[in-house]
Structures are given as structure tokens and as C-alpha cells.
Amino acid sequence: MHPMAKLKEKLAGILEAIPAGSNIYYVDYPLHNNGGDMLIMKGTEKFFKDYGIRILARYNLFDFPEDLKPAPGSIFVLHGGGNFGDLYVHHQEIREQVVKRFPDHRVVVMPQTIYFSREANYDRSAAIFNAHPDLHLFVRDQAGYELAKRKFNRCRVYLSPDMAHQLWPILPNTKVEKDRLYFLRTDIEAGDQPYAADLDPRDCRDWDSLFTHAESRVTHHLTRFCRLDKKLGGSLPTRLFWYKYTDYLLGKAVKLFGSYREIHTSRLHGHILACLMDKPHVLIDNSYGKNSQYYRTWTCGFSKARLVQETPDEPIPVGS
């Protein structure tokens, strides 16, 4: 079995917390220009569809209702990713809000990387989660999982791959025309990338440069519509448009990756997308070790991927 097929199979362990056929609310689906979160969202939705999980409603950061009265026996499922902690406070706040407001409903946090810059912030959040009687937390890497078991000592804590693996396989339909793509972080998680200044800018991308200014503005306007829709009671088809639009945006990423022989990336989901496409690639660590921790936990068995924590000078042989 291909290593990526095995990781997809491991995601079935989530059914322990969200049984097939459950009724759920999917909370904090991404409405921003981060293709990694879009891949997670698509994988999550496919997981729900594959296991007959019924979605009663979907909410993003901007339209979560203040007066929601959930159906009896329903489960709150919180979007996974790499924003659990104190770097992305608004996403952490909506998670904690759900945990506090709905003690009579199971809450499931889909696979996350956990990072707090301050121990006190971790302890404060853990106290909120530990107060909930039926909380299930999935963690994406071994080190984070071991710490989370100690911190969230009254919750059920699991180790799980990222939800994007549910999309395996992604088959590119683009002819390989170029040698090496550098898909590198340019945000607060970028870390030390001293070689980036010496690269040909035509072969360098991040999510914010893959998507044009006009495409990014569409996302910005959609967030405004979501805020308006919240006031109108949910009558606008914003989510339907966004889901179709993300198909288009991710199609650009697949086309770009498919046009290169190999990828060098400091984006975790640059790595995961290359894995899903069965592409040779190099993974460079981010600022706090998220990428290396994920690689060592899940993807080190994929022969076409190589982890480096310094300048990646040597190409990967095709087919290695």
C-alpha cells in the first residue's frame, strides 16, 4: 500500500469521536487566502461525505451565530490545521467560545498542530477545555500529542494525520516544463530562509503570491458578505460560492506544482500537496518545528520527500 493511502486509512480513527452517520455542526471552516487550510477543508468535507456524516450547518470565523440552539445529540466539529494556540487568537477564541457555550454537546477538534508561545496561555486554554465533559482533541504530531495528553488531562486526546490526506490521490494533468519550484512561507512562521533572496522570483511562490490581488480581493469581500449574512439570518449563498471558488484556487496550486519536476517548500501543505500528487520534493522547517515534527510523525516513509533544516542545494533524483 502506498504510504499516502495508509495515512488516508488512519483518518478512519476519527470515527471513534464522530461516528458514521452523526449530525454535526462544522465550525471555523477557513475563509481566507491560505491554500493549506483550503486543502484541509476539502479533505474534511470528503471525510464527512465518505462516512455519511450529516452537516446541519457550517460556520466560519465571521458568521458563527450568537443565539445558536443546536439539535439534541449533535456534535460540534472544529476545523483542524495549525492555528491552535496563541499565534492566531481569533481562531482560538472561537474554539474556546464553542467549548464554553455548549457543555451538553460533544466537541471534536480535528487534527491540529498546537503551539503556544507562552506556557501561561497554554494552561489557560487547557483549563477551558478540561472543564468540558465530552471533548475530543486530535493532534497532528507526536511531540504535541505527548504534551497535550498532559495538559488536556480531562479530554480525550488522539494522534492523527492531517485531514488533507483524505484527498489522496490528486492526479495532475499538467505537463512538467520547469525544474524546481520554491514554495516558501513569507509570514510569521517563515523562520530562517537566507537563501530565498538568491532565487529566481519566477520560480518562487507562497499562497499570497499564487493568488492574484484580484483573487484575494474576492476573498476579502466574501468576509464582508458573511458578516452581513449573519445579520440577515443566513440567507445569502456565500458559502456555496466560496466552496466553488476554492476549487478554482486549489486548481491553480495543483497546476503550478504539476508543472515542476520537484518542489522545495517550507509550507506544511506544500509538502502535503506534493505528497498527494506523488511529487519529489524537499521539506524545509518552519519557525517552530511544525514541519519537521509532522514529517517525523507521518511522512518520513514517503521516499520522494526529504526533510532539510538548512539550504536545500541538491535536487532530489526523479523517482527516488
Predicted confidence (pLDDT) per residue in 278-299, tens digit: 999 999 998 888 899 999 999 9
Does residue 111 contact residue 83 with C-beta atoms inside 8 Å? no
Q: Could you tell me the domains of the chain? A: 3-166 (3.40.50), 169-307 (no CATH)
Count Cα neighbours of 132 within 13 Å in the Cβ-side half-sphere: 27
Report pLDDT digits (tens) over 1-28. 999 999 999 999 999 999 999 999 999 9
pLDDT surpasses 70 at 42: yes
CA distance 99 to 297: 28
Confidence bin at 188 (pLDDT 50/70/90): confident
Task: Of 192-196, 232-236, 249-253, 272-276, give the lowest mean pLDDT range.
Answer: 192-196
CB within 8 Å of 42: residues ≥ 6 apart: 164, 167, 246, 250
Pairing of β 178-183 and β 75-78 = unpaired
Q: Quick one: average pLDDT of 56-60?
A: 95
Does residue 283 contact residue 307 with C-beta atoms inside 8 Å? yes
pLDDT surpasses 50 at 230: yes
Phi and psi at residue 107, to the nearest 5°: -120, 130
The top-scoring range by mean pLDDT among 67-71, 220-224, 308-312 is 67-71
pLDDT of residue 312: 41
CA distance 132 to 152: 10
Does residue 267 contact residue 184 with C-beta atoms inside 8 Å? yes
Does residue 300 contact residue 217 with C-beta atoms inside 8 Å? no
pLDDT of residue 225: 82
pLDDT of residue 309: 61
311 vs 40, higher pLDDT: 40
Note if the bond before 201 is cis, omega within 30 degrees. no
Task: Of 69-83, 115-129, 224-238, 281-295, give the lowest mean pLDDT range.
Answer: 224-238
The 3 state secondary structure assigned to the chain is CCHHHHHHHHHHHHHHCCCCCCEEEEECCCCCCCHHHHHHHHHHHHHHHHCCCEEEEEECCCCCCCCCCCCCCCEEEECCEEEEECCCHHHHHHHHHHHHHCCCCCEEEEEEEEECCCHHHHHHHHHHHHCCCCEEEEECCHHHHHHHHHHCCCCEEEECCCHHHHHCCCCCCCCCCEEEEEECCCCCCCCCCHHHHHCCHHHEECHHHHCCHHHHHHHHHHHHHHHHHHHHCCCCCHHHHHHHHHHHHHHHHHHHHHCEEEEEECCHHHHHHHHHCCCCEEEECCCCCHHHHHHHHHHCCCCCEEEECCCCCCCCCCCC
pLDDT of residue 129: 98
